[in-house]
Chains A and B, each alone.
Chain A
Amino acid sequence: MENRLVVSASPHIAHKDSVKKIMFGVVISLLPAAVGGVYFFGAKAAWVIVLAILSAVITEALIEKLTKKPITIADGSAIVTGILLAFNVPPEVPWWIPVIGSAFAIAIGKVPFGGLGYNPMNPALLGRAFLLASWPSHMTIFKTAPKDGSLSGINLAAIKSYGLDAITSATPLNVFKTQRGILFEWHDVLKSGMENPALQAKADLANNAISQLSDSYANLFWGRVGGCVGETSVFLLLIGALYLIYKRYIGLRIPLTYIGTVAVLTWLFAGTEGLFSGDPLFHVLSGGLILGAFFMATDMVTSPVTPKGRIWFGVGCGVITVIIRLVGGYPEGVSYSILLMNLTVPLLDRYTKPKTFGKVEQK
């Protein structure tokens, strides 16, 4: 009996959760959006997801095999990376895009830093950034209209009646960005007092388009818009997010401050008629914000551990996203904002260290 006794430091009981359970919990939470992606964009979306997962898992196993390290693919984190990468590429990319993206995510973004727990940036987002920089044409052109919807999210009937054919081949944020540009150009022309009938016609169209975007909330919410494989359906993403919150795998600080910041800043600055003329709801529902705020900014490894740090992290993500959306070169800024904020995590943690209980009175 006595030589079977285990001696270790307290505590002698433990909570049932494990890293594996958490990772597979995240996988489950992503399933509704994955199924939605396949429903809206067809079988090619399924292929993108499958290839991205396989590539992530095989890359991790292969590197660990070659470097004679323990194989860690069973922890499920590579699967999560694969799914998230797939969610962030357009559905009609060639087959090698998700393969290279996932391989890069794991081989450059994760393993060299020491594997799970040590990577400074979200591997899936790093993989996407790599793809976007290397093959921008594949990553920014959307051709597949979702089932029962249009690429821009604008209702098909409205497109016809307003003569908006020209803008049906872009996602809502693309439409927003280009049309807003036209309107600003038009405002400048008006100010200068010159006349430009051609531009005026374009500006009328742009005004129409933007007001139509604002009427497309339902399409944005359900996912009847163009976009990347897993980012379009707010509804399905929220189902997964609720599951994560229920399981306490994510907190609310990052998603709420992130989304809140985007809403406030777009309300303030995204309009074309001065301050407070923007449409915050459109900006919250479109693009990859919901996916980013609930599933990628909340990535445990690459977000702050302190309560205050998480709030600043969310605010920072929101600010950068809005800057990119409104004045940057890309229509969408969620991925880059999270990647940039990932790099501030050690600093945020350091400067938001909570006060030790009882340290308040001590001088």
Chain B
Amino acid sequence: MRLKKLTFKGGVHPPEYKELAEDKAIEVMPAPEFVVIPIQQHIGAPAEPVVAVGDEVKIGDVICQAKGFVSVPSHATVSGTVKAIEPRPHPVGGNVLSIIIENDGKDEWSPDVAFDEKYAELDADEMKKRILNAGLAGMGGATFPSHVKLSPPADKPIDTFILNGAECEPYLTADHRMMLEKTRDILEGVKIIMKILNCKNGYIAIENNKPDAVRAMRQAVKEMKMDVEVVSLPVKYPQGAEKQLIKAITNRNVPAGGLPMDVGCLVHNVGTAKAIYDAVSSKKPLIERVVTVTGQGIKEPKNVLVRIGTPFEKVIEFCGGVTENTIKIVNGGPMMGIAQFSMEVPVIKGTSGILALTDKETGMRDPDPCIRCARCVDVCPMNLLPNEMARQIEYNNFDEAHQLGVLDCIECGSCSFICPSRIRHVHLFKYAKMEVTKKLKARA
């Protein structure tokens, strides 16, 4: 029995709205007529296109190659013809060079993809190579290249791996459904990760609003005779943020500006673990992912297995379309997701959800003056002073904001969520981070 309370400082309890989709089994969406695959779907250097307009491709063929270590390739997600290579709207913002493939409807796979019975005997380097070749980037939304995370420097050994099944973002249920339906695949992925890292302690972290997932995982862990602990955590946002999750489970503090490996930890999302299993066992690249399509604005909320590159509007159509009073389309969850100006944007590797939010749900209104109620201070999981930083940024005092620690902000949105004056802290902090980074670069 653990005596310590598994939690972290701060945080909020937003309405969950998980009931919209949590009981909907994952549905496979038929491949769309065309896909739009941006060369940048990950943190790091953009990949380089290796196909030309007119080329024929099969599912799983590399269409753009990783450039540098912190970069990942991408693959064709339908079979067909490359129609165009041009900038297209991207869900994370702006226009990004994208490869557009017209689907020939044959669904032909690249011959390389095949199940390898002896995959478990591969050495760590070969496993990592397969992970890189499969184009894996963190599927929780941050999209950090997976093979980089799995290659810690020799002086930073990892002793603890945490599988992140917290899914603390309201509305989203994709990870929840995966844990119920792909329990064993995920755990095979965990085995692979722990083998690569050669680490002893494994935890599977799930918030206690998903008791069925906790049960399924515990059952499977027992049956597979794995030495990992399934931990049920009290619900609190942002439980799934790496640093907060590590604090809750191991009570270790990741240093400000540092990474989990600085305290011997590594965190991967459940979707990534499943993809790692596919990549290592079958050399199957990341060509599809589970997306929760939900919100009061979606007529039939669902969890859908979607080909990467499918435009949002097609996915939304598959879920019955949006209602009249929809005012926001969001890539990701409601707390950290990105609002879209167009429904043309494609599903990318980090698209955990597509939300259609109605005017009522968003509760948008103009900000009032700060009344210093300090709720933002109380909820900040990073222990910052959001009210003070916001005030300084409004006066363009970026140096002061830097001093106050704006670069440590994880943009979880707890402060803006709780603010009775509806001050848009995260907006200001994102802006300030850009300005501060610019200044630091200029000084260097």
Contact = CB atoms under 8 A, between A and B. Distances in A.
Interface stretch (A14-22, A34-42, A170-178): A14-22
A9 B341 contact: no
Contacts of A305: 372, 374, 377, 385, 387-388
Interface stretch (B59-67, B188-196, B302-310, B417-425): B417-425
Given A4-B326, A303-B372, A361-B253, 14 more contacts: A1-B326, A1-B343, A2-B342, A5-B339, A5-B343, A10-B330, A10-B426, A11-B336, A13-B15, A116-B368, A302-B372, A306-B377, A357-B247, A358-B255
B340 interface: yes
B9 interface: yes
Interface stretch (B123-131, B285-293, B356-364): B356-364
**Most chain-B Cβ atoms within 10 A of its Cβ — which of A10, A118, A362?**
A10
Given A6-B362, A13-B335, A357-B243, A75 B427 contact: no
B363 A14 contact: yes
Contacts of B258: 358, 362
Contacts of A357: 9, 243, 247, 253, 256, 381-383, 408
Contacts of B51: none
Interface stretch (A45-53, A231-239, A278-286, A348-356): A348-356
Secondary structure dominating the interface of B = loop
A6 B256 CA distance: 34
A117 B370 contact: yes
Interface of B: 9, 12, 14-15, 170, 243, 247, 253-258, 322, 326-330, 334-343, 355, 357, 361-364, 368-374, 377-378, 381-385, 387-388, 404-405, 408, 411, 413, 416-422, 424, 426-427, 430
A215 B52 CA distance: 95
Interface of A: 1-2, 4-19, 21-22, 75, 114-118, 249, 300-307, 349, 353-362
Contacts of A306: 374, 377, 385
Nearest to B9: A357
A358 B408 contact: yes
A298 B368 CA distance: 20
Contacts of B9: 357
B358 to A, nearest CB: 11
B417 A13 contact: yes
Contact of B14 (A13, A21, A115, A358): A13
Given A11-B334, A17-B420, A356-B384, A362 B256 contact: yes
B8 to A, nearest CB: 8
B337 A360 contact: no
B322 A6 contact: no
Contacts of B15: 13
B363 A8 contact: no
B261 to A, nearest CB: 14
Contact of A353 (B247, B330, B385, B426): B385
Contact of B413 (A11, A75, A300, A361): A11
A96 B338 CA distance: 56
A304 B388 CA distance: 11
8 contacts: A5-B328, A8-B424, A11-B336, A13-B14, A16-B363, A307-B378, A353-B404, A356-B383
A3 to B, nearest CB: 9
Contacts of B322: 1
B362 A13 contact: yes
Given A12-B334, A13-B334, A5 B341 contact: yes
A12 B328 contact: yes
Best-surrounded residue of A11, A302, A359, A361 (most CB of chain B within 10 A): A11
* Most chain A CB atoms below 10 A, which of B243, B362, B369: B369
